[in-house]
Amino acid sequence: MRTKAERGRRGFTLIEMVIVIAMILILLSIALPMYNQSILRTKEAKLHHDLVTLNQAIENYSLDKKKAPQSLDDLVPAYVKFIPADITGSNTWVTEQEDPQDAYDPNQTGIGSVHSGSKEMSTEGTEYSSWTH
């Protein structure tokens, strides 16, 4: 049988619990910003990949057809399976017309490149809309 002193020492004291909870909160306050930054960098990497893919598809279309695409939908399904969503939240791709001097047919210019329509700033300090590929 246990003595009265042994029975009183079975749990944690309030101070021990407060210290453990405080340590957990400190660790969370360090880890959470790092986690959020890694998610943002992942989204930016996906945006960059999508831009490279779309601009490469535009270039391949232009080389194959001897004319630039008139819309992004012209790239589907032969050059890309689908037009990816702009992950910046603006959900709009902005197309730039090709330079008539470099076009196969100067009278019928098409899309020369694409970029994001977002004015938000990236972790690099530039606007997403300034990224081409």
Give pLDDT tens digits for 7-16.
556 788 999 9
Mean pLDDT value across residues 113-124: 84
Q: Which amino acid is at 92?
A: T
Q: Where are the domains of the chain?
A: 43-130
Q: What would the two tokens of residue 36 be?
A: 């959020």
Cβ atoms within 10 A of the Cβ of 50, count? Answer: 20
pLDDT of residue 87: 78
Nearest Cα to Cα of residue 109 among 74, 69, 64: 69
Taking a C-beta distance cutoff of 8 angstroms, is the pair 83, 112 a contact? Answer: no
Q: What is the distance between the alpha carbons of residues 54 and 125, in angstroms, rounded to a whole number? A: 23
Give pLDDT tens digits for 39-90.
989 988 998 899 999 999 999 998 898 888 988 889 988 999 988 888 777 6
Predicted TM-score (pTM) above 0.75:
no
